[in-house]
Amino acid sequence: MSEVVLEIKDLTFGYSKENLLYQNFSLTLKRGELIAIVGKSGSGKSTLFELIASNLDPLKGTIKKANISWIFQDPYSSFHPSYTIKNQILEVAKEKNLKKFLDKLNLHEELLAKYPHELSGGQLQRCSILRALTMKPKLLLCDEPTSALDNVVALSTMKLLISLLDSCGILLITHDLALAKWATNKIVTIGSEQ
C-alpha cells in the first residue's frame, strides 16, 4: 500500500464565517498519485495550498502532510530580487541535487548565477521548478507550474513531474482541463462548479 503524503479531513475554511470556501472537504493523496484541483478564479484553489502549507489555519478539520515543496504560479514573486538564483536554491537544497535536474529542465548552469530580473519568465519558472525538485519533497504542490512555458517546454516539464511520482505525490492546480485529464489520476473540482 502506498504511503499517504497528504490527508485532509473535514476541512472548513472561509475568510469570513458567512462565506465559506470549504465545508467538510476531505482529500487523500498517496505517493505515486497526481491529483488536479480545478475551479474558477476565486474558488479557493490557491487558498487550499496556503492551508496545506500552514500559512492559514482552518476553522475546523485536520491536515496531515509529509515534507512539501511548492512550485508557484508567479516565479517573480517567489524569488528575492537581490540574490542570485543559485544562492536562493542552495538555501533549501543541496548542490549535488541541482545537476540531476538541470538538463531535464533544459537549463544551463550559468543561468543560476544570474538574478531573477535577468531571466525570462519561462527560465525563471523552470528555476522555480528546479528549486522545488531539489528539495526532494514527498508532497509537491504545483500551482499552474507550466503557465509561463511554451507548449513544448510545458509538455517536457509535465513529463518530468510525472516521472517523479515514484518518490512523491503531486497536487496540481490548473485551469487547463486537457492537461488535467492527460496527466492526473483524479480531478477534484472546487467552488461553484461543484
| Cell, residue 77 | 514573486
Segment 105-130, tens digit of pLDDT:
889 889 999 999 999 888 999 999 99
**How far apart are alpha carbons 90 and 131 in whole angstroms?**
8
Within the chain, residue ranges assigned H as helices are 45-52, 75-78, 85-90, 95-102, 121-134, 151-163, 177-183
Residues facing residue 60 across a β-bridge: 12
**How far apart are alpha carbons 174 and 168 in whole angstroms?**
19
- Per-residue confidence band for 73, with pLDDT thresholds at 50, 70 and 90: confident
For the chain, what is the mean pLDDT? 90
Among candidate residues 155, 117, 108, 162, the one with its CA nearest the CA of residue 140: 162
Q: What is the DSSP letter of 54?
A: T
Per-residue pLDDT at 79: 92
